[in-house]
Amino acid sequence: MQPLEAGEPTAIGPYRLLGRLGAGGMGRVYLGRSTGGRTVAVKVVHPHFALDEEFRERFRREVEAARRVGGAWTAPVLDADPTAAVPWVATGYVAGPSLSDAVGERGTLRSLPDHSVRVLGAGLGEALAAVHALDLIHRDVKPSNVLLALDGPRLIDFGIARATDGTASLTSSGVSIGSPGYMAPEQILGQGVSGASDVFSLGAVLAYAATGTAPFTGDSSAALLYQVVHTEPEVPLPGGDLREVVLACLAKDPAARPAPEEVARRLAPGGAAELVAAGWLPGPLVEQVSRTAVRLLDLEPVAPPPASGPVEFSKPAVGAGVFGPPDPSYIPAPVQESAQGSAQGAAPAAAQSSEPATAGGPSAAPADAVPTPGRLSVSVTAATAQGDNGRGRKVSCTLALAVASAVAAVSLGGVFVFNMLPDRGADSGAGGGTDQSTRPPAATQSATPSQEPGGSGGSGEQLNEIPERYLGTWEGKAQALDGLLPAGTVKVTVQQAAVGKEIGSASMTDELGASTCTDVLILKSVSEKELVATGRAKNKGDARCTQNDHVVRLTPVGDDLQYASENPDGGDPRARLSKVG
């Protein structure tokens, strides 16, 4: 477990946080404690999932399914909030390492002894039998989802479990649920999954526990998946019933695999509990688990939770390749203008609540003021709105600014995010849209009306060459949707050229630093007061980038340039740019 970093939440829902347990593709996992003193593991999903209504529906169904699982060898789901600004789920905390951390090259042991493997297989077999009896499939049985506690093994992370009664439509096309090397052949081939698929994964987990290596290996995911489908597993175990059970589970034909309850019966005829009671973990692991349990008793929450507000994430999370907004001291000017109080006087809100946090204090800073340190959480309720393409863009969600920072789009806008956000032209319509009078104003927008690409633009006396004032490389943080959503970093280069010629480029990098989209700038007009260009997508064919031509305006503001892209597909991003070269 790692201590909480600056800017991470100190509470989620009713749980005060003690530290961070880890991170993965779905989000981060924290160690928490309830008001009654129970220790829990709280999983907070990746913020960009919060913008996806399809994910929210799938998450809600998965939580409902996981609540039904109550077997002896699983971690129970205790609480969840799929409707929170950032959805989360709390499960019972298991004081013990994962199998992947306990065994193998990075583990305490090279492999588990035969007796421990039998208990592990019997316990997981009983757990899967209970899961399958509820018409559920786990779909991701692997070493990191198996915990080793003194009172027996635990199968965790039912966050990707699916009810088998028709939820396939909620799974995004092209998304593979499972882990290479532990997925069943039929799962890899897209032939559908069943309880037998979990049994195949169980066999791979038992082979790993008994030998310290996976039964299938490969230099890449593709090679690994090929091995699972076409080659026989490597299980260097001596002959006996344990080896026979493992190989039976790893049969290519689902019909040839034993049922999980049969696996449990063959490995522990008297039941897993009987073997656990006699002691099942080897000495080094018992010592490791005991030390962890003792340290847990001494942990205290970092700070009392604030009264309410959405969960916030820190910049270190972005650098670590997981998730989180940019520098928490940065607040876009449009948001400062819309706040009822200054950010300096607002306490960071970390606890989850059904009511949005509010800020009070002195009047907001002027539009051209430099953003001041501090944090501000803003909630925006989005109603269903009909987009230009004839489909709803976003269905009823609450978006926290501190969360949205992490998921700003990768284009000069970004198709995959902004197509899910509310149509700003329908704000005053029915369905609970935000009233236009209460919306934050756009950042220092140009007074010149929007022009279609190719038309005339600019203001003031038109010049034949670009003034020195505009030339160079400029950079700054952008906001989209009239300042409601941080949209990454804009970098603009301007060089001398005639009207109709290329003068440079404008690129936008998403907040995670993972993707960049670039527009080529073609000069339309220029004056001392404004430069107008047509932005043409350079990343043709990249679905993450907008492809349409659009107007880009650069307006001098002091020593800076105000950037405005008239690109509704990208959320009409705006930024104040400082010269960097």
pLDDT given for residue 445 in this prediction: 37
What's phi and psi for 329, nearest 5 deg? -80, -10
**Phi-psi category of residue 322: left, alpha or beta, with phi > 0 → left and psi -120 to 50 → alpha:** alpha
Angle separating helix axes 260-267 and 195-211, nearest 10 degrees: 30
The domains of the chain, with CATH numbers, are 1-92+306-328 (3.30.200.20), 96-305 (1.10.510.10), 378-442+454-579 (2.40.128)
Share of the chain above pLDDT 90, in %: 41
Chain segment 23-53, per-residue pLDDT in tens: 766 788 999 999 888 999 999 988 777 788 8
Token pair of 35 as six digits: 């008001």
Binned at pLDDT 50, 70 and 90, residue 171 comes out as very low
Sign for the CA dihedral angle at 488, 489, 490, 491 comes to negative
pLDDT given for residue 515 in this prediction: 67
**Phi-psi category of residue 7: left, alpha or beta, with phi > 0 → left and psi -120 to 50 → alpha:** left
pLDDT at residue 481 greater than cutoff 80: no
The one-letter amino acid at 551 = V
Q: Of these residues, 140, 198, 482, 510, which one is catalytic?
A: 140
Chain segment 246-297, per-residue pLDDT in tens: 999 999 999 999 999 999 999 999 999 999 998 999 999 999 888 877 777 7
Residue 532 contacts residue 514 (beta carbons within 8 Å): no
Q: Which residues of 10-32 are buried (b: 16+ CB within 10 A; e: fewer)?
A: bbbbbbbbbbbbbbeebbbbbbb
pTM recorded for the entire structure: 0.52
pLDDT at residue 306 greater than cutoff 70: no
Q: Which one is predicted more confidently, 450 or 84?
A: 84
Token pair of 475 as six digits: 């950079």
pLDDT given for residue 1 in this prediction: 76
Residue 176 contacts residue 151 (beta carbons within 8 Å): no
Greatest mean pLDDT among 153-157, 162-166, 553-557? 553-557
pLDDT at residue 189 greater than cutoff 60: yes
pLDDT at residue 346 greater than cutoff 80: no
Is residue 140 flagged as an active site residue? yes
From 287-296, 427-436, 534-543, the region with the lowest mean pLDDT:
427-436
Greatest mean pLDDT among 66-70, 312-316, 317-321, 443-447? 66-70
Q: How far is CA 347 from the centre of its chain?
A: 25
Contacts of 29 (CB under 8 A, 6+ apart): 20, 21, 22, 23, 41, 42, 43, 44
From 102-106, 123-127, 358-362, the region with the lowest mean pLDDT:
358-362
Chain segment 389-408, per-residue pLDDT in tens: 333 333 222 223 333 333 33
| Mean pLDDT, rounded, for 497-512 | 87
DSSP state of 109: B
From the list 399, 404, 378, 384, the residue with the least C-alpha distance to 478 is 404
User: How far apart are the C-alpha atoms of 536 and 419, rounded to whole Å?
Assistant: 19
Determine whether 256 is exposed, middle or buried from the number of CB atoms within 10 Å of its CB (0-12, 13-18, 19+).
Answer: exposed
Greatest mean pLDDT among 44-53, 100-109, 308-317? 100-109
| Mean pLDDT, rounded, for 111-135 | 95
What's phi and psi for 402, nearest 5 deg? -60, -25
From 185-194, 280-289, 328-337, the region with the lowest mean pLDDT:
328-337
Within 10 A of 457 (CB to CB), how many other CB atoms are there?
25
pLDDT at residue 430 greater than cutoff 70: no
User: How far apart are the C-alpha atoms of 571 and 490, rounded to whole Å?
Assistant: 14
Binned at pLDDT 50, 70 and 90, residue 488 comes out as confident
pLDDT at residue 218 greater than cutoff 70: yes
Average pLDDT, the chain: 74
Sign for the CA dihedral angle at 60, 62, 68, 70 comes to negative
| 3-state helix/strand/coil string of 75-106 | CCEEEEECCCCCCEEEEECCCCCEHHHHECCC
Q: How far is CA 485 from the centre of its chain?
A: 17
| Mean pLDDT, rounded, for 536-540 | 84
pLDDT at residue 580 greater than cutoff 80: yes
Residue 43 annotated as binding? yes
Q: ∠ CA 129-131-137 to the nearest 5 degrees?
A: 110
